Amino acid sequence: MLALHLGRLRHLSFPDGLAVLEAIESVPDLLGEVLKTESDIDRAAERVATARSALFLGRDIHFPIALEGALKLKEISYIHAEGYPTAEMKHGPIALVDRETPCIFVAPRGALHAKTLSNVEEVKARHGLIISVGTEGDQALAELSDVFLPIPEAPEVIQPLLAVVPLQLLAYHVARRRGCDIDKPRNLAKSVTVE
């Protein structure tokens, strides 16, 4: 609400602000749709559970979601994971791409989707294992992916809220498959208990 208020003070029109509010109101129902894909997420977890390392890639507003996905995988499954901006993939992470290192793309449809598809194709050309979180019905992304995790069609402003859930569930299912204590990850302490 604060962001909407600040947007209205600067540049956001009333109808655009109303559209954002309507999108936010739709989040609970859309998340319910995402949760229905848990069997697909578990299938992806089977592919990740034996990996030593994983790359999480996202562009623009999806980069922080890639970082969150990598963090959750590290925290509860003890697999090394790194989040990286998709646009910067050629500047380092592409050297790590092989059949043994899952590349998890956060790639819902949006303004820069074609560029992200190009990055996915680069990983595919190097025989990388591709798991993608993308917009339901995105046939191009699904065909490039070894495992495609769909989220419902939604305005870009709320896509991160939908895209993060498959990544969190992926970490959960990977940790479960590896026999890790999901509720008490080793060496972690909540920031409220440690100075």
For residue 115 the two structure tokens come to 């560029």
The whole-number pLDDT of residue 192 equals: 46
Distant-in-sequence, close-in-space partners of 130: CB < 8 Å, separation ≥ 6: 102, 103, 105, 120, 123, 124, 144, 145, 146, 147
Q: What span, in angstroms and rounded, lies between the C-alpha atoms of 22 and 10? A: 20
Does domain 37-177 match CATH 3.40.50.10490? yes
If one counts every other C-beta atom within 10 angstroms of the C-beta of residue 54, the result is: 27
pLDDT under 50 in the chain at which residues? 192
The whole-number pLDDT of residue 85 equals: 94
104-147 pLDDT, tens digit per residue, is: 999 999 888 999 999 999 999 999 999 999 999 999 999 999 99
Say whether pTM exceeds 0.85: yes
The whole-number pLDDT of residue 122 equals: 92
Q: What span, in angstroms and rounded, lies between the C-alpha atoms of 42 and 105? A: 16
The whole-number pLDDT of residue 190 equals: 61
The whole-number pLDDT of residue 195 equals: 56
The whole-number pLDDT of residue 80 equals: 95
Distant-in-sequence, close-in-space partners of 179: CB < 8 Å, separation ≥ 6: none
Phi and psi, residue 170, nearest 5°: -60, -50
Q: Which of 162, 167, 176, 192 is nearest to 46 (CA)?
A: 176
Q: Which helix (H) or strand (E) holds 45?
A: helix 38-48
If one counts every other C-beta atom within 10 angstroms of the C-beta of residue 85, the result is: 17
Q: What span, in angstroms and rounded, lies between the C-alpha atoms of 148 and 108? A: 11
Q: Which of 20, 49, 19 is nearest to 129 (CA)?
A: 49
The whole-number pLDDT of residue 70 equals: 97
